[in-house]
Structure 1
Amino acid sequence: MARKILNEKMNQLRGGMIVKNLDIEQKQHHNTLHFTSATTPNLAYASLPFLIKLLSKKYDEETVPISEVQEYDDRVEIGGAAHDFEVMATLEKHVGSCEYYKVQMNVKYNGLTAIERGIKIQLDLIGKGTPTWMIPGAFYKENRFAHNTRMYPRYDFEGGEGDPMASDYWSFRSDRAALPAVFAWNEDMSAALCTDEMSDIGLTGLGFSGNKEGTSVWLNFPYREEPITFHSPVDPQPADCQFHRFEPGEKRQLEFKLYVGTADLHDYDPFIREMYRQYQDIHALNPWIEVEEAAELTAHGLYTWHYNPRHHILNETAAFDREFNGNVKGQGDRPHMHVAWVSGAPYAFSLLTYGRQHDIEHYSEAAVNVLNKIASGVSPSGIFWAEWTEERGWGSGWNPHRDWLQARTISEATLFMIRALDIEKKQGVHHPDWEDAVLSNLSFAMTCQRQDGNFGSYYHCDTGAVEEWDGAGGMLWIAALLEGSSYFGRTDFREAAQKAGHYYQSFIHNEFIYGAPEDVHLTPTSEDAYNALVAYILLYEADQNSTWLDLAKKAADWMMTFRWTYNIEFPQHTMLKQLDFRSRGADQASPSNQHLHNYGLFCFPELMRLWRYTGDRYYLDRNRDHLACFLQCVAREGGDFNAYKGMVTERFYNTNCFQPKGMMLTLSHAWCVGLVLYASQAAAEYLEELDLQDSEKRVLD
């Protein structure tokens, strides 16, 4: 028996969003709640098949069915009792950026003796097709290709036979997620469950399963990590299943949100926006310093701790503990330099602009020396070498094969060499060697570009042959070619960039952009999103084609799935807890590298311009969050969080991955220092709009 419980007015379209219907079906004296999309009535739906599932250490599963339903104008109340548990839940429909149900569930244990149980709240999806997934920041679609050289959790509909990190089901701690939500899609619809990181019975969890038996997403109270715990690619740990000890008569309240959307892969965006809007009022920002001070500190830090005057490079790392560094003969500092990405041209450019603007000659001279070094490192194929090391000189970097050079690293170096050329030209300073190196790289990109626009991802360092076409690692050639077109007056560079824009848009439409960093082969990462945003904003600025702007918006929305919406509850005695570090605005590096990082500052200027072009305040707010987050933990003096003045770490550990939650890596990284310097200088143009002052006290509009 099915009964409509919402009046006709609630079944109309509101604000362009599709209103969802809720039906109740009764079978064998038990009820199931169906949430049906208005676009696919009777074809697909999500259902709550029971109130809760009780999980024991013996892997028994017992359900508390829905046996009571009370319907009101503004809510539905459901209840049931079994196995000494009594559960009552209230579902209220809310309309904001999208429609969703807010669920408040009261659980009471009526047993006579204490027991340990886990609670699982499950949503089943009915519809056609193999499911796909997203846990923001932590899991995307199948997450890892079977042929990927990097090992981390992978979804396999068939169960992942022979692959220790592949499975048809996964459960994770919520603190792995930028928003504690799990999304699922099939051919007909999508659905999601969302909760808070912490609950009345501890850290929560997120999970999903998709196989021949069905498709489900769920929440765990407290968390479970199954079938393994992903601690690192080389160190998977056993499953970690937590339980709560219920005492007789104990009452607990659990809260979550339930969302049903269309089959459109971008339909996560309205729900993430709505959850972010709510978290804005709860999770405050806490920048330690202003952007002017941040720029001054990081310029000092980049020059003092990372510039290597002997080799004219930016050392990739500098140890916090200088005494230790001396005791190990300087090995805490890494005298290696990538030409971009984790060192090199982008950060030399930032130091150069700061030195020129503030007339600090030794900063400018150091930056020019680094850029001279990079310009001298052109491989036999005509593109930059990826990396210089003290031990080996020029080489290929951290790629799957020692003879390969990766497109993103090289194109990013080319882009910032062009930007440095432009800065110097305005100063009346010319660098013919830089120009020759840049033209060699841009000409290579033109030569290797396939007819469909693909630049390829990996090149042979000697022959220049494209060794791997898969992935979006070459996307940043678009930006380099466009800025090269302006600098050199070459229309053919712009035409090649536009051709590439048409090719790489498929990655954005597919909501799965992968292949940017050298060290995580063909992996979806936040860095892929940054590159896509930069490329498509520059394409839009080149010809004002609205298609490029729409793609830039979609890339930015996908980027926000990696960006923290809330402040993590760090353990009491950890460094990040003691520092009152606020995680709202930080980005997860990738599902493979689960730690918070500041690389999103790379596209800070482009995201500000996207906000101006669209008028969408969301982009301004989330860009402010990212900057404000990393105006924390810039060492203001020697000894600040045990670092030296101007140092910035790469990693803030948000979960049980690589290191315990609440730790930070005690190394300063050239790229982390350099990006704070880069973004702080760019932010000076927008101080009034960013309004970083009193951000902890201010409730955002």
Structure 2
Amino acid sequence: MPAPSADAPPHQAARLRTPDGGEVALPCVVALMTPEGDCLPVPVHEDRPHPDGSRELRGAAHGFAARMHLRPYGPTDPRAQAYEGALTVRRTARTPTAAGLRIEVRLGQTEDPGWLIPGVFYGPGRLPGCERPYPRFAEGTDDPRALVADAWSFRADRCATPAVFARDRLGGAALALVAEVGELGEQGVGFALLPGRHPALRLHAPFREEPVVYYGSATPRPPRTPTHTWQPETTRTVRFTVHLLDTDPHAYAPVLRTLHERTPVPKEPAAWVGLDEAARLCAYGLHRWHYRDDPPVLLETAAFDREALGERGDRSAMHVSWVSGTPYAHALLLHARRTRDPGMAEAAVGVLDHIAENLAPGGTFWGQWGARGGWSAGWTPEPHRLHSRTLGDATLFLLRALAAERARGHDHPGWERAVRSNLAVAHGGRRAHDGRLAAAHHSDTGAPLTYEGSAGLAWVAPLTEAAAALGEPAWLATACHAGRAFAADLRDEFLCGAPEDVSLAPTSEDGYNAVIAYTLLHEADPGDPRWLDLARRAADWTLTFRYSYDVSFPPHTLLGAYGFRTRGGDQASPSNQHLHSFGLICLPEWVRLARHLHDPHYLTSARENLDCFRQFVARADGDFNAYRGMVSERFYQTECFQAKGMLLTLSHAWSAGVLLYACERARAMPEFEELR
């Protein structure tokens, strides 16, 4: 017989009320997904309420019987209601069959669903002008080869938290899996905009990846739609939660907090080494494998395999920040001064001198030094386009290096001149009507090239700190003006464009910049209450990228064999789906924000982030096939770029450097005293 469409009118829909008076509909108890791609709803024939507020939905069709139990849980919140769900499905026919399960809720009409799958999908996914290809939502579109569609489904391990959020005109909802792997194997999440502009939120068991699989490039892979073989009388259960929300786009934050708190955590910490040992190893690795003295630079990468590749496997280039440069030379210098290591101190000072002495004609830093071409713009698409996030970070950490050195009695006038020159360009490039800071500058003139995206937010932190450190109050006014302008991006829940290599994609790095900027603005201008609220919003948005659970790795993989734990690690971005440690760059501000808010949840997340990335620091030559002090950039927790469970066999200057920086700063904080 012809298969009924999932979009056909249901026999009976169960309905739940959102806090703002809207409705969430469960159109069927479950939908059966066939190997041929058909969707067979099992209608709701019975909807039984119970005195405790729970609901029981029952139905039978297509040789299956299904029961869904929804039980309210958690403290009463006028803005949200949560249900624990258990869907139990039994094969009643006498013959085996193959099928997957789909749990779906539908919302009312909307102009903007506000999609959120943590770590994977944000709003439209990809902006129309973004040059980096990865999945994009567009209403009424089905162009899988171009990675554009109005319905997407993803495997759970791509998600920092396996949940999907959307909203309509009257309210919102979230569906979340209790675990990455369930009784039917790896599970998944998805969404679709149905006819009439009704958002549909979906869970799949087993997972489905459709309309295509994104593997990190512009060339998609065929969809993956595994099914489960049901023998007669086989019974399987899928556990999940349903959250009914108001229309606030930030309503995801308390849901993610609740899901994080409900996820089991092993008693033993994930970290392999303490703070001081991690710092020693990272400092050694930076100095031994990444430092070169002619000219003094920190090479961006060093290959694990020295026998086969030698220095041919190293990237003979140095960005002034971001993937190398000032933040990590600053961290190395902090460690060298503390441990009284003159060789490391000389190397770190040499790198910082080299960067500070070689400004572009327009007055800013260059983007990157290369062994063949010398100084250039870096990885930006035009040869004269200097990325503001790269410049802003370089300025901030050179200023911090200068302050730390002066506190120890060492002065570096050239560093101050470089900081002042960069900030003069940033200050002069503010947009007249709203104070927004440029996302890119011309290397020859320093003139602003674009204000698109959130990269210009990286100027706020150095302007704020330098206003006090260098006696330039006008710079704080500029930072405050810019902070107000970029607040709109935060309230829209869409920051994008921080790294040079992903165009206008949203990334976790945008969140780190925002946390640093707004925490510093709150501390410099405490009379304005908006800064603390914006810093909190920035932290909440950043936590959408942070894994709240430990991914299950096959035991034969490297990450599986070493027992790598992902909780506390961050998805780099929807376009770069691997775990990275860059969140440690804002650990000091994150901890201070937790203090300002008197909220231990943020401190817990900072501790988990630092705990996660004290794994896989090579403790000796041969440790995970690396050399002592090497630290990888990428941990493949899902199928993207590499197979799940693999590790990128390159040591990155920033990976060792950001962990060194975090350890040096954390060891002086009482919150981390027991980790030394």
Give the TM interval when normalised to the shorter protein: over 0.9
How high is the sequence identity, in percent, across the aligned residues?
42
Distance 2:269 2:247 in 1: 34
State the alpha-carbon separation in 1 of the partners of residues 222 and 174 from structure 2: 27
* Residue identity in the other structure for 1:234: A
SS state at 1:577 partner: helix
- In the alignment, what sits opposite 1:71? 49
Report what 2:38 is aligned to: 60
**What residue number does 2:460 align with?**
478
Pick one of 111, 114, 125 that aligns with 2:93. 111
**Matched residue of 2:665: which SS?**
helix
Structure-2 separation of matches of 1:424 and 1:175: 44
Shift in alpha-carbon separation, 1:690–1:509, aligned structure 2, 3 A: farther
- Tell me the TM-score normalized by structure 2: 0.95
- Residue 291 of structure 1 deviates from its aligned partner by 0.5
Q: Partner of 1:653 in structure 2? A: 636
Matched, 1:36 2:20: no
Opposite residue 573 of structure 1, the aligned amino acid is H
Matched, 1:548 2:514: no
Structure 1 86/162 Cα, relative in aligned 2: closer, same or farther at 3 Å? closer
**Contact 1:567–1:582 (Cα < 8 Å) also in 2:** yes
* Distance in 1, Cα, partners of 2:329 & 2:41: 60
Q: Residue 323 of structure 1: SS of its match in structure 2?
A: coil
Provide, for residues 606-655 of structure 1, a one-character-per-residue CA deviation record: whole Å limited to 9, x for no partner. 01001111110100111110000001111111111111111110000011
Contact 1:285 1:582 in 2 (8 A): no
SS at match of 2:223: strand
Distance in 2 between residues matched to 1:400 and 1:430, nearest whole Å: 37
Partner of 2:239: 255
1:48 corresponds in structure 2 to: 26
The answer (yes or no) to whether the contact 2:118–2:163 under 8 Å persists in 1 is: yes
Deviates more, 1:364-373 or 1:161-170: 161-170
Could you tell me whether the CA contact under 8 Å between 1:183 and 1:217 is conserved in 2?
A: yes
Instruction: State whether residues 400 and 521 of structure 1, in contact with CA within 8 Å, keep that contact through their aligned partners in structure 2.
Output: no
Residue equivalent to 1:613: 596
Contact 2:109–2:199 at 8 Å: present in 1 too? no
Superposition pairs of residues 483-632 of structure 1, within 5 angstroms? 483-544=465-526, 545-632=528-615
1:115-150 CA distance string (max 9 Å, x none): 111111111111332322000001000011111111
- Which residue of the partner structure matches residue 251 of structure 2? 267
Structure 2 partner of 1:220 = 204
Aligned counterpart for 2:300 among listed residues 293, 316, 323? 316
1:138/1:177 contact within 8 Å kept: yes
Tell me the CA shift for residue 314 of structure 1: 0.2
1:388 aligned counterpart, secondary structure: strand
- Residues 292-342 of structure 1 show CA distances to partners (whole Å, capped at 9, x for unaligned) of 11111111111111111222100000111111222xxx2211110000000
- Rounded to whole Å, the distance in 2 between the matches of 1:690 and 1:160 is 54
| Contact 1:183–1:268, Cα closer than 8 Å, also in 2 | yes
1:657-668 equivalent positions in 2, closer than 5 A: 657-668=640-651
Alignment-mate amino acid for residue 52 of structure 1: V
Preserved contact between residue 127 and residue 189 of structure 1 (Cα < 8 Å)? no
Deviation at 1:692, TM superposition (A): 5.0
Partner residue of 2:4?
none
CA shift for structure 1 position 36: 1.4
When structure 1 is superposed on structure 2, of 290-299 and 460-469 the one drifting more is: 460-469
Instruction: Report the Cα offset of residue 689 of structure 1.
Output: 5.2
Q: Root-mean-square deviation (CA), in Å?
A: 1.7
Residues in 2 aligned to 1:688 and 1:547: alpha-carbon distance in whole angstroms: 26
Change (3 A) 1:153 1:128: closer
**1:527-578 Cα distance to aligned partner (Å, 9 max, x none):** 0000000000100110212210110000000000000000000112100010
- Are the equivalent residues in 2 in contact too, given 1:396–1:403 (CA < 8 A)? yes
Structure 1 unmatched ranges of 5 or more: 1-26, 694-701
Tell me the SS of whatever aligns to 2:576. Answer: coil
Deviation at 1:69, TM superposition (A): 2.7
8 Å Cα contact 1:633-1:648 kept in structure 2: yes
C-alpha deviation, 1:687, in angstroms: 5.0
Structure 1 residue identity aligned to 2:229: R
Partners of 2:295 and 2:16 in 1: CA distance: 64
- Is 2:70 the partner of 1:91? yes
* Deviation per residue, 1:92-135 (Å, 9 max, x gap): 00124753010111111022222111111111111332322000
Q: 1:665 to 1:28 in 2, by over 3 A?
A: closer
For 1:88 and 1:498, locate their aligned partners in 2 and report how far apart those are by CA, in whole Å.
55
Task: Please name the residue that 1:199 is paired with.
Answer: 182
Q: CA deviation at 1:599?
A: 0.2
Deviation at 1:403, TM superposition (A): 1.8
Distance, in Å, in 1 between the alignment partners of 2:471 and 2:608 is 37
Choose the corresponding residue for 2:352, options 371, 389, 402. 371
**1:179: which partner in 2?**
161
- Scaled by the length of structure 1, the TM-score of the pair is 0.92
C-alpha distance in structure 2 between counterparts of 1:508 and 1:130, whole Å: 17
SS in 2 for 1:267: helix
Specify the SS of the correspondent of 2:456: coil
**Does 2:364 correspond to 1:383?**
yes
Give 1:239 deviation, angstroms: 0.8
Quote the residue 2:388 is aligned against: 407
2:171 counterpart letter in structure 1 = M
What is the CA distance between 1:29 and its match in structure 2? 10
The aligned amino acid for 1:447 is: G
Following superposition, the deviation at residue 284 of structure 1 comes to 6.2
**Deviates most, 154-163 or 589-598:** 154-163
| Mean Cα deviation higher: 343-352 or 129-138 | 129-138
Number of equivalenced pairs: 661
Aligned to 1:290: 274
Cα distance in 1 for residues equivalent to 2:55 and 2:634: 44
